[in-house]
Amino acid sequence: MSRLVVVSNRVAPIKEGKVAAGGLAVGVYDALRESGGIWFGWNGETSSNPMLVCETQGNITYATIGLTKRDYDNYYRGFSNATLWPTFHYRVDLSRYLRKEYEGYRRVNAMLAEQLKPLLQPDDIIWVHDYHLIPFADELRQLGVRNRIGFFLHIPFPAPETLTSIPPHNELFRTLCAYDLLGFQTEVDRQAFEDYITREVRGVVSKNNTMTAYGHTFKAAAYPIGIMPDEIQELAASYKGRRHISGRGREGEPRKTIISVDRLDYSKGLVERFEAYEQLLDNYPEHHREVEFVQIAPTSRSDVKTYQRIRQQLETQAGHINGRYADLDWMPVHYLNKSHDRKILMGLFRTASIGLVTPLRDGMNLVAKEYVASQDPQNPGVLVLSRFAGAARELTSALIVNPYDRMGMAEALDRALRMPLAERKDRWENMMRVLRKQNLATWRDDFVRDLRGSAQRAAAKGWAVHAL
């Protein structure tokens, strides 16, 4: 079997047998372990003289390199996270464009391609991840690399009108067409990409998701990322450690917990969610003292200004709700910026009556899937899920809400708090079936199979499948 080379913005070596890391890292790691190969990317650090470092564990080589401060500012903080991230999440209002940052983005992609090229073998297949690395295949091609290269976009692919607000969109998406296989989270994202290709560049779409644009023929399809639901079920059930101490309600019953876990990011809809929770307390006084809301939001990208602003806003909102409603023995909102061990999180999900997952836009949202997988089959909680999360395409038995509708969300929370056991079980079983069918292994295997398949087709046609 040919080797797999995974390229991602961040590389975090995983120690054998450790399950602490998030789902994606584990899925990619498993694929690498199966076929052997390289995991290549940024080591997460800045340095004045970055050098490639290779570390081999078993059949996987971790090849990582630092970034100069200038490259970090332009490529990572700048074009990736201040232009592409907001625009792809439909927040053109938060997006900025600076030509020097785009140049830095292109420069880093070119540098990374140059660093990877000497490590490649002729029949390696290369799997590139996410929006930081759109031009990566094009840079490799310019260096003469002819291996098969696939790309998976973890975030949404927006409608063409939104994309065209990025000034160099034409050049950027021309480079995207240098891949052999493009993977999106949902059919909606794939369709948006097709719309861009047909409307903006007059590309041609043929059968089996094959497209031709800018002189390249490639395949574009949806590969929804999943989790390993049975492993999470086991992890959540085995957690015996410290739990969230929720007091007792008016009748002496334990309070019901509503839980949300997100990176602190404006795309996750935290502000709107806090407003909806306040609306629940305003509209339904019968839930006072009977319910509490736990929001875990580890900070991310804290050196980007918009992220500092949202943090301040949430602190104000949490203080405001608690100021209005808290009592000596009841704290309606618990807002925690600390990150938690994965096992603790899954344990908390299991005890929470409601998983509240309401992003304004999200490629997939693994938290929604993890909440469902953590539930006690005999007494499952209710998932309240935004229609704008990719996960809503699969988890149709959740209570689906529009995060812009504060009143609608408060009604859904009230309904979830009252939902009878039989209905909760029914919805949960439907969702577990979906999670088991389309899990992390199927996501990985489907993508890698299609990428290998395209390599075999190329070889059969006598195309060069080797690094020149």
Out of 145, 236, 367, 382, the residue judged to bind ligand GDG by CB under 6 A: 367
Binding region for ligand GDG (CB under 6 A) out of 167-175, 356-364, 396-404, 428-436:
356-364
Q: What ranges in 406-439 are assigned the alpha helix state H?
A: 406-418, 421-437
Q: Which amino acid is at 311?
A: R
Q: Is 30:60 a contact under the CB 8 Å cutoff?
A: no
Tell me, residue by residue from 258 to 287, as one string, x for binding to ligand GDG by CB under 6 A and - for no binding. ---x-x------------------------
Residue 244 near ligand GDG by CB under 6 A: no
Instruction: Tell me how far, at minimum, the Cβ of 201 lies from ligand GDG, in Å.
Output: 26
Tell me, residue by residue from 68 to 107, as one string, x for binding to ligand GDG by CB under 6 A and - for no binding. ----------------------------------------
- The residues that bridge with 151 in the sheet, in sequence order, are 128, 182
Q: Which of residues 106-165 bind ligand GDG (CB under 6 A)?
A: 154-155
Out of 13, 44, 298, 408, the residue judged to bind ligand GDG by CB under 6 A: 298
154 is catalytic: yes
Out of 364, 382, 413, 455, the residue judged to bind ligand GDG by CB under 6 A: 364
Residue 342 near ligand GDG by CB under 6 A: yes
Out of 43, 365, 397, 438, the residue judged to bind ligand GDG by CB under 6 A: 365
Residue (278 or 362) nearer to ligand GDG, CB:
362
Q: Which of residues 8-67 bind ligand GDG (CB under 6 A)?
A: 22-24
362 is catalytic: yes
Rounded to whole angstroms, the Cα distance separating 40 from 61 reads 8
Binding region for ligand GDG (CB under 6 A) out of 50-58, 91-99, 361-369, 403-411:
361-369
Tell me, residue by residue from 163 to 202, as one string, x for binding to ligand GDG by CB under 6 A and - for no binding. ----------------------------------------
Residue (185 or 279) nearer to ligand GDG, CB:
185
Q: Which amino acid is at 193?
A: F
- The residues that bridge with 113 in the sheet, in sequence order, are none
Spell out the residues 6+ positions from residue 189 whose beta carbon is closer than 8 angstroms to its own: 153, 156, 157, 222, 363, 390
Tokens of 100: 């020097």
Rounded to whole angstroms, the Cα distance separating 377 from 368 reads 16
Instruction: Tell me how far, at minimum, the Cβ of 227 lies from ligand GDG, in Å.
Output: 8
Torsion on CA atoms 23, 26, 31, 36, rounded to nearest 10: 160
Q: Is 398:385 a contact under the CB 8 Å cutoff?
A: yes
Out of 174, 216, 340, 436, the residue judged to bind ligand GDG by CB under 6 A: 340
- Residue 281 Cα distances to 123, 243, 317, 323, angstroms: 60, 24, 14, 13
Binding residues for ligand GDG, total number by CB under 6 A: 22
Residue (39 or 330) nearer to ligand GDG, CB:
39
Catalytic residue among 89, 132, 154, 287: 154
Q: Is 65:51 a contact under the CB 8 Å cutoff?
A: yes
Instruction: Tell me how far, at minimum, the Cβ of 267 lies from ligand GDG, in Å.
Output: 7
Rounded to whole angstroms, the Cα distance separating 293 from 333 reads 5
CA 97 to chain centre: 23
- Strand order through the sheet with 4-10: 53-57, 60-67, 37-46, 4-10, 125-129, 148-152, 181-184, 216-222, 210-213, 204-205
Q: Indicate which residues carry an active-site annotation.
A: 154, 362
Residues in touch with ligand GDG (CB under 6 A): 22-24, 154-155, 225, 261, 263, 296, 298, 339-342, 345, 362-367, 370
